[in-house]
Structure 1
Amino acid sequence: MYRVLILTSALIWVALSSPLQDSCTVTSYDAVSKAISSCSNIVIKGITVPAGQTLTLNLKTGATLTFEGTITFAHSNWAGPLVQVSGSKVTVKGASGSKLDGLGAKYWDGKGDKGVKKPKFFKIKTTGGSLLQNIKLLNCPHQCVSINSASNTVLNKWTIDVSAGDSAGGKNTDGFDISSSSGITVQNSEVKNQDDCVAVNQGSNLIFKNLTCSGGHGLSLSVGQSSSSGSANTVKNVTFTDCNVVNSRNGIHVKTHTDAGTGTINLVTYKNIKLSGITNYGINIQQDYKDGKSTNSPSNNIPITHLNLQSITGSMSGTSKSMPVYILCGSKGCSSWTWSGVSITNGKKSNSCNFTPSGFSC
């Protein structure tokens, strides 16, 4: 009786004093769902996710999840995502040496969106002060990270490496895509890919800092792809700061789409952005996109106001098509821009601007 009483008392004490300390280590996909529903400290170690399945991580409030080893995803031509994380006040992290491998070479065909169906990789819908850090994504089949309907979340120390796609047909491999989200910070991270390093489609109160981007299309806003109007095409209070963009098509790219509804881009700041080896445009701002490409016919449907650039410096690659600054605005599409310390050298083409920001001479 004495021994049983002591053991029972100890178990009761643990349950009462540490209600969130239950731990589970998962080594097979089939065990994930049960662990997520019953544990608040989960380790997912070296599993393979079956073809056509999402690793769904709908975490309990306050839960912690850790990836260990290599997580792989069997091939299937479908839309994905391969991973989806949701929950409030959650922590998702990668242990040292861990990685999630999307096996992109099985999908890459040089056609991106227009080729075979390819899954998006990692979708984030977290809220409430969540943290996702030290996560490494390899070989994204398509877009890498989709932050959608998320809020009050920090992404810290991510590595996104799709560099193998440079010679193997990787395309439309966006690093971080943001839509319908607010209060998001992405920091201290690196992206090697073949498309936008960051692409903001819709959102507010967004911060991107200490990012290194290479091989892709730069730090972008792409607004107006939704056919509806108003909030679906609204970007407000966004800051990019202390970032490096190297060996990329663009450094900074802001584009609006004329084939969608109305919207706005307001209060966007790029500060202390360093460029090198940029092949096409150091700064590229266009209000003429339709059907996914430039038309040279800009529109006013999504005005860009209070676009602030401070200390944007560096150099182009020197290729024949390189241009430091290109601005194409609708007749009333751009206003109240303030630029200072913009200096981009080694362009073979002269700047082209149909709107001139305050503090800048085109």
Structure 2
Amino acid sequence: MTLTRLTALVVIVSLLFLCGTIDTEARHPHRHHRSPKNTISAPPTGAPLYSPPTAASNASSNSTNSMPPSSSPGAPIPTPAPTSANSYLLFDVLAYGAVGNGVSDDTEAFKTAWDSACQEMNPSMISVPKGYSFLIKSTIFVGPCQNIMIFQVDGTIVAPSEPDLWPVNSRRNWLIFYKADGLTIRGGGLIDGRGEKWWELPCKPHKAKNGSASHGPCDSPVALRFFSSSNVTVDGLKVQDSPQFHFRFDQCRYVTVSSLQIRSPALSPNTDGIHVEGSENVLIHNSVISNGDDCVSIGAGSLNIHIENVTCGPGHGISIGSLGKQNSRACVANVTVRNAVIRHSDNGVRIKTWQGGSGSVSAVTFDNIHMDTVRNPIIIDQYYCLSKSCQNQTSNLFVSGVSYRNIKGTYDVRSPPVHFGCSDSVPCTNITVSEVELLPATGQIISDPFCWNVYGMAQTMTIPPLLCLQEGLPRSIMDIDSNKCY
């Protein structure tokens, strides 16, 4: 291993496991367990690069490439020569010692296959074959690689089933891809986070059988996390039952996510489908997400995010935020959500900020969205808080330039169909609404919208009528403009 790769590993381990990584909706005291001594798997080991076989050796290599390496006691495991698959060099994890019975630890086999493929100069494909179930423990797949990489998942990848089986120092993430530029993860296989035991921990914000609620800090794993990576494609996967977020993208650029099926139970806590943080130029489309928290959540530092043809629910809808926690600065701009369906969710399309924060949310479009029995179809909440002790403060994010067009369907009558709760000191401005028709899922009475300190206009007749929007701009607009990020 080169000094550069060692340095990269030290940096990413420090960032991922010493710093807090998830801004969950509720936290509480962590229960300590004894864990196996096993820690996060080693970074690339510098396995020998593949040398093309000579003509005299082609016959023998072709007959043995698909066989697993020798497991004789004391014998070194040879590095298999990759085979060819449609102009990609093929690295089958079975050839690197993976067993695939769902019980044996296949982490090192996956890591070795990754390291070998990553160092190849030619385009490479790691194959996770159909018909096998591979148990993988918390690990980092480290780049940058020398080539275009495809991670072809046709089989099943499963996480350890019990929180006690996870190392104490690597409980926040499961499968991490660091500096994996140009990576494609695709296939019709399944990635199973086996999060059931995690959700039952007292540190999770869930309702107990007796009706009481518990909450607090809990270091539970994100299933797939991409960190500092560009030109990433994720396509066609099935991902289920993550202990916490199913996907998370941090400091990534040019990401395409398509044709995903993400599912976990409706009451599974903090199981966001896809979370984007500090990332730019992200496209999420043609996917179905059913989970216990936000379908898609967009965090601070996100720019140029496009969500289209996504079906959500049950869950908490599509959210920008929460932003500005602990008086932090947050910036989000150029977000489009189009042609979406949201069913049986707590929220539809939501912007949520904490009191005391700074920064701005701007240039947001929600267009052609169907709501089916959603409790809060349209919501801006600048008083977001997880306890009763939150104080009203003089600063907040500036929310401006938000458009709601062609949003129709039904709402849960427990809450108003439209809720614009903007900061006392930092009003929401330039909020435009057109072709909104939201009817009660039960009964005949249409609830009034809620508006507080919000400026904008209804460009067409709406149901319910949005007569509560204030026209023009507030007097303090010049002071508010200084809060803008872009």
TM-score range, shorter chain: 0.7 to 0.9
Q: Distance in 2 between matches of 1:299 and 1:349?
A: 31
Could you say which residue in structure 2 is the equivalent of 1:241? 338
Q: Which residue of 1 aligns with 2:35?
A: none
Partner of 2:380: 285
Do the aligned residues in 1 keep the contact of 2:327 with 2:358 (CA within 8 Å)? yes
Equivalent of 1:201, from 299, 302, 307?
Answer: 299
Alpha carbons of structure 1 residues 222 and 299: separation in structure 2 relative to 1, 3 Å? farther
Q: Are 1:35 and 2:130 counterparts?
A: no
Q: 1:258 aligns with which of 355, 378, 382?
A: 355
2:372 pairs with 1:276: yes
TM-score (norm 2): 0.64
Which of 153, 160, 163 pairs up with 1:76?
163
Residue type matched to 1:33 in 2? K
Assess if the C-alpha contact under 8 Å between 1:322 and 1:348 holds in 2: no
Please report how far the alpha carbon of residue 255 of structure 1 lies from its aligned counterpart in structure 2 after TM superposition.
0.8
Structure 1: give runs of 5+ residues left out of the alignment.
none
> Residues 195-222 of structure 1, C-alpha deviation per residue, up to 9 Å, x if partnerless?
1111111200010111100011111111
- TM-fit CA distance, 1:262: 1.4
Structure 2 residue identity aligned to 1:22 = L
Q: Alignment partner of 1:173: what SS?
A: coil
Measured in 1, the distance between the counterparts of 2:446 and 2:392 equals: 24
Counterpart residue number, 2:437: 343
Q: Are 1:65 and 2:133 counterparts?
A: no
Between the aligned partners of 2:387 and 2:226, the Cα distance in structure 1 is 25
In 2, the alpha carbon distance for the partners of 1:295 and 1:226 equals 11
Output the amino acid matched with 2:351.
V
* Paired position in structure 1 for 2:10: none
Query: Distance in 2 between the 1:62 and 1:236 partners?
Result: 31
Aligned partner letter, 1:83: L
Structure 2: how far apart are the matches of 1:291 and 1:21? 50
Aligned to 1:220: 319
Supply the AA of the counterpart residue of 2:233.
L
Question: 1 CA distance for matches of 2:220 and 2:392?
Answer: 32
User: Is 1:189 equivalent to 2:275 in the alignment?
Assistant: no
Say which SS state the counterpart of residue 258 (structure 1) adopts: coil
Q: Which amino acid in 1 is paired with 2:184?
A: T
Aligned equivalents of 1:119 and 1:285: distance in 2?
Answer: 29
> What secondary structure is seen at the aligned counterpart in 1 of 2:222?
coil
Letter in 2 for 1:47: F
Matched, 1:333 2:427: yes
- For residues 21-48 of structure 1, the C-alpha deviation after alignment (integer angstroms, 9 at most, x for no partner) is 3221114221122211221211134310
Partner SS state of residue 358, structure 1: strand
* Residue equivalent to 2:194: 103
Query: Does structure 2 retain, via aligned residues, the 8 Å contact 1:36–1:58?
Result: no
SS of 1:361's equivalent? coil
User: What secondary structure, in the 3-state scheme, does the structure 1 residue paired with 2:361 have?
Assistant: strand
Any residues of structure 2 matched to 1:115-194 within 5 Å, and which?
A: 117-125=219-227, 127-162=229-264, 165-166=265-266, 170-194=268-292
Length, aligned pairs only: 342
Percent identity over paired residues: 23
Query: Using the alignment, how far apart are the partners of 1:114 and 1:175 within structure 2?
Result: 21
> If each structure's strand is expressed as a fraction of its own residues, which one has the higher value?
1
* C-alpha distance in 2 between matches for 1:299 and 1:135: 45
Over 3 Å counting, the alpha-carbon distance change for 1:268 and 1:293 in structure 2 is: farther
Q: In the TM superposition, what is the alpha-carbon distance from 1:333 to its structure 2 partner?
A: 2.7
Structure 2: which amino acid aligns with 1:81? N
Answer with 1 or 2: which has the greater Rg: 2
- Distance in 2 (CA, whole Å) between partners of 1:226 and 1:187 is 29
- Name the CA shift for 1:158/1:9 in 2 (closer, same or farther; >3 Å): closer
Rounded Cα–Cα distance in structure 2 between residues aligned with 1:67 and 1:5: 31
Q: CA separation in 2, counterparts of 1:296 and 1:272?
A: 36
SS at match of 1:38: helix
Partner Cα distance (2:172, 2:242) in 1:
11
Q: CA, structure 1 residues 299+345, in 2 after alignment: closer, same or farther (shift >3 Å)?
A: farther
Choose 26-35 or 174-183, whichever is displaced more: 26-35
- What is the Cα deviation at residue 234 of structure 1? 0.4
Give the residue type in structure 2 aligned to 1:250.
N
When the two chains are superposed, the root-mean-square deviation of aligned CA atoms in Å is 3.0
TM-score (ref. length: structure 1): 0.85
